[in-house]
Amino acid sequence: MIRGMTGFGRAQGQAPWGVWVWEARSVNGKSVDIRTNYPPGCDAIDFEARKRVKDHFQRGSFQLQLRIDWTRDPGASAVDTRELARLARLSRHWTKSGVAAARFDGLLGVPGVVKAASRTGSSVDDLVAKDLLAGLDAALDMLIAARGKEGESLLQLFGTMLVQTEQLLAQAGAFAARQPELVRDRLKARLAELGKDVATDPDRIAQETLMMATRADVREELDRLAAHVASARSILASGEAVGRKLDFLCQELNREANTLCSKAASLELTNAGLALKSLIDQFREQVQNVE
């Protein structure tokens, strides 16, 4: 089953150290291109995160975003010395007015003097990294599923396009069978335009007719086009990352279709060749979304 290159994956979780959210997005690209957006201090997981993306995917432009809400550590606190000094001055002032002096522990108990210190990105340790990377795997699994779903739709579309291609090849083959007759009639018409005064050699005319019919023969192009269609079916059924192979095959299909149009001796065959070119262009446009 082929995979597309457009998708989105999201995973979130909670641990004693905080709450995290991963988001992974991808669009089409010629190779694996990764952009990241982490909170400060999470550079330690960047190498492994990029490695896991490259292990899962072969093509695409990726964006990884991580958000973390760190849990405040109740064992860590910080004293606001400026606030403590302000309260101490007030306490001395109240003492002069006959009010009992405030105890030090009482001042520390005033809201705002002692503040809990939150964790920062610099506290990413092995345990935190393990949790984060497990979350990344979950987001990447969702992204893989989304790209696989797009691949299913593309596979159906390619199947329809290949059937249409075969139908156009059958029409072109029917028109191509009349190529020698059309070439011969066209040569006779040109000779007739020259008038009765021009001497003509029947053997020479036969030779020219044969040469023109040979140059206008498109059976080889039709055979190669049919072979390319068969190759496309085989590639699509391989279940591998086939985007590059299909892109190259589209170039070959387009080359044969161009030759077919250049050799066409009738309007019907020309139109069939142009319809083939249009269909091949549509096929190639969709191939750009295949991994």
Are residues 173 and 143 located together in one domain of the fold?
no
What pLDDT, on the 0 to 100 scale, is given for residue 209?
A: 59
Q: Are residues 238 and 213 in the same domain?
A: yes
CA 161, 162, 166: angle at the middle one, nearest 5? 120
Residue 22 confidence (pLDDT): 97
Quote the pTM value: 0.71
Asked if residue 281 and residue 212 are part of one domain, the reply reads: yes
Give the tens place of pLDDT for each residue, 108-164.
667 766 665 555 444 678 899 999 999 999 999 999 999 999 999 999 999 999 999
Domain identity same for 31 and 141? yes
The answer on 178 and 94 residing in a single domain is no
**Sequence-separated (6 or more) residues with CB below 8 Å from residue 239:** 1, 2
The answer to whether residues 251 and 231 belong to one domain is yes
* 1 found inside a domain: no
State whether 24 and 87 are in the same domain: no
Q: Does the residue 2 lie in any domain? A: no
139-to-1, 69, 93, 217, 241 alpha-carbon distances in Å: 21, 18, 60, 55, 21
- Which pLDDT score, from 0 to 100, does residue 120 have? 47
Cα distance between residue 18 and residue 14, in whole Å: 6
Q: Are residues 209 and 131 in the same domain?
A: no
Q: Which residues constitute the domain of residue 165? A: 148-287
> Which residue numbers in the chain have pLDDT < 50?
120-122
Question: How many domains does the chain divide into?
Answer: 3
Distance CA 182, CA 265 (A): 7
Same domain, 141 and 16: yes
For position 227, which CATH number holds? 1.20.140
Residues 180 and 266 in one domain: yes
